[in-house]
Structure 1
Amino acid sequence: MHIKQLGKEWLHGGGLWINRHSHVRIGLIIFSIVVIIISLVASDRLISKMANEERINMEIWANATQALGSNDMTTALIYLSRIMELNPSIPTIITNSKGEILSYQNIDLPKDPEQSRRLLERKLASFRTGYPPIVMAGLTEPLYLYYSDSNVLRQLQRFPYIQLMVFLLFLGVAIIALISLKKSDQNRIWEGLARETAHQLGTPTSSLMAWKEYLEAMEVDPMITTEMEKDIERLGIIADRFQKIGSTPNLKSEDLHPMLLRALRYMQP
């Protein structure tokens, strides 16, 4: 009865532990989701803000070119190139109304002229699929300024996903740690139950030993005391095994054959 009550108390305590840490895990997951959402929203706003600032810069450069008040396209391109040098991170390409490339900035090209031409054409096609061009009027013919995201902006676009991966890794480690703690606590509960069982087995074992001594003194049938001796030995083995649960094993070399024979004798009725 004592064992049963103790088991209920320990299991109830373990249940409280499990429920408490379940709440911790749920709270941790909710917190993680909130942090991820905040991070994504903040990063998206930052990226949008930078993209708008870059477009404003492009418009400023285009307006500055128009403000020259000159119909000389060569002078306009030189002036625009000087302004573009102030921002070495935004790749740009300037074309005429026919789509011919007149100037480019912040684009690394190979030394071979043919390869450079093909690369510029691919870049121009890529820029056209991105932001709409800025039209620079007021010259002999309109110019079109194509541009793409700067390196900083591209890095910021990748940053939320890197941050998400790192946070998910942290979350996984935290969950694994909580599960390990829960299993460790459950193991301690079962170890305590096993040792308490071994302790409680001492009472019937001692009583059986006393009855054996008493019956031997009464000179009853030796077969009865012999069977009682076997039961006492079995109870002692069981109690010893329960007592050793959770303890550090004592490893030693033994002959396998005698151990198998003892196991067979133990299993025999």
Structure 2
Amino acid sequence: MFKQFIGWKFVLVSTAVVIIVGTIWYVSSLASKLEEEETKKVATWVAANRELLQAPDEANLNLAVEIITNNTSIPVIITNEAGDIIDSRNLDTNKIARDPSYMTEQLASFKNQHPPFIMEIDAKNNLYNYIYYGDSLILKQVRYYPYIQLIVVALFISIVLVALSTSNRATQNLVWVGMAKETAHQLGTPLSSIEAWIEILKDNDANEQIATELRKDVDRLKLITERFSKIGSVPQLEERNLVEQVENMVAYIRKRAPQKVQLTMHTQEHDIPSMISPSLFDWVIENLLKNALDAMEGKGTIDIYIESHPAHIILDITDTGKGIPKANFEKVFKPGFSTKKRGWGLGLSLAKRIIEDYHKGRLSVKWSELNKGTTFRILLRK
């Protein structure tokens, strides 16, 4: 499902890019043609003004007047040879009345947009008019259209991706919760049966040691069942001594770790109260310690540091294992991501969910270097 989701995102973004690039190319071509047409219209308008100055016959005079009056879209500013503004057309009259600098600013803008047309007034006295013109409103709208479309398409894609991501996450959560609760339910029946057999074994003194060991395993299975049953529901947080809670889990893992692996606790305080769900928090520590053991392949050290600060508690678990590439710092918490051949990629994902969703803390990779080790950091609020 995850790969399919990534595939759909790629197709969606690629399609949007093709549409935007095609639109920008087409609109740019259309804008260039429209600009050429407007330049021709201004040239015709200038020619019409020239006809008026030369006092032509009545027929040409009427045609020139019609051409001049028909220009209602292209803004024009006329200056004399000294650069003084003597006339204008199709500019905002309200802005002209309110802002004395408006005409000067428009003239500077027109000079940057197009070269002026020069209209001879009196060649003997070197009198000339310069006609500057800008883009019409339609041309401006055509040019800005691709960028408006880009914003709209980007907004649309963002909404679709957020919706897909939310839907995908919700589906995954439902699958996890359903799987966890079903596992807890399925474990319940055989556990009850095994407990009954343990009581029968106790009746015979010769089986007392076997019954005791079986009881430990059953208690462990019951703890696992309790953990699974709490997934998907809001756990009840209890005030516990975090140092003692972690020490118990370290002791449990130490008995099952290879002899060449050394686990060490480091803390300046031996009583750090914290609101936690004991069974779920133990699950997180167990996952992190087991991951550390797997990364070291039978030898090395695991150091657990606990620091108490005024507003929060920091718990670092550092191993001397093979490390994690920096590109995978966030990926290791994604469901399904695993570097183990038989891994499901759920341990760290569940650990992050337990710390961040249930304990309102944070679980992250603080540091890691290939062939040197890794530090996972848990941050809990006081």
Q: TM-score, normalised by structure 2?
A: 0.51
Which one has a larger percent strand, Structure 1 or Structure 2?
A: 2
> Alignment partner for residue 241 of structure 1, among 227, 238, 245?
227
The alignment partner of 1:198 has SS state of helix
> Alignment partner for residue 90 of structure 2, among 99, 102, 106?
106
1:136 to 2:130 alignment? no
Aligned to 2:183: 197
Aligned to 1:213: 199
Instruction: Give me the whole-angstrom Cα distance separating, in 2, the residues matched to 1:144 and 1:30.
Output: 49
Aligned pairs, how many?
Answer: 238
Instruction: Give me the whole-angstrom Cα distance separating, in 1, the residues matched to 2:226 and 2:103.
Output: 83
1:102-181 equivalences under 5 Å are 102-107=86-91, 108=93, 110-111=96-97, 116=100, 119-137=102-120, 142-181=128-167
Residue deviations 1:113-165 (CA, integer Å, cap 9, x gap): xx74x543443333222211123358765533211112232233333222212
State the AA in 2 paired with 1:210: A
1:52-71 equivalences under 5 Å are 52-68=36-52, 70-71=54-55
The range that moved more, 195-204 or 219-228, is: 219-228
Aligned to 2:338: none
Q: 1:145 to 1:225 in 2, by over 3 A?
A: same
Q: 1:111 to 1:181 in 2, by over 3 A?
A: closer
Aligned to 1:87: 71
Aligned to 2:257: none
Residue deviations 1:93-124 (CA, integer Å, cap 9, x gap): 12344434332112335448xx74x5434433
> Alignment partner for residue 170 of structure 2, among 184, 192, 197?
184
Offset of residue 28 of structure 1:
0.8
Larger radius of gyration: 1
Alignment gaps of 5+ in structure 2: 253-382
State the AA in 2 paired with 1:36: I
State the AA in 2 paired with 1:38: G
Instruction: Give me the whole-angstrom Cα distance separating, in 2, the residues matched to 1:66 and 1:235.
Output: 100
Offset of residue 183 of structure 1:
2.9
Q: 1:105 to 1:81 in 2, by over 3 A?
A: farther
Instruction: Give me the whole-angstrom Cα distance separating, in 2, the residues matched to 1:19 and 1:128.
Output: 55
Q: Is the 8 A contact 1:62 1:80 kept in 2?
A: no
Q: Is the 8 A contact 2:49 2:68 kept in 1?
A: no
1:241-260 equivalences under 5 Å are 241-246=227-232, 248-249=233-234
Alignment gaps of 5+ in structure 1: 1-16
Percent identity of equivalent pairs:
34
Aligned to 1:8: none
State the AA in 1 paired with 2:142: L
Offset of residue 38 of structure 1:
1.5
Instruction: Give me the whole-angstrom Cα distance separating, in 2, the residues matched to 1:238 and 1:111.
Output: 81
Residue deviations 1:70-100 (CA, integer Å, cap 9, x gap): 259xxx9x99787544333322112344434
Q: Is the 8 A contact 2:46 2:117 kept in 1?
A: yes
Instruction: Give me the whole-angstrom Cα distance separating, in 2, the residues matched to 1:82 and 1:213.
Output: 112
State the AA in 2 paired with 1:173: I
Q: TM-score, normalised by structure 1?
A: 0.68
Which one has a larger percent helix, Structure 1 or Structure 2?
A: 1
1:45 to 2:29 alignment? yes
Note the aligned Cα RMSD (angstroms): 3.9
Offset of residue 250 of structure 1:
7.9
Instruction: Give me the whole-angstrom Cα distance separating, in 1, the residues matched to 2:3 and 2:102.
Output: 62
Q: Is the 8 A contact 1:133 1:144 kept in 2?
A: yes
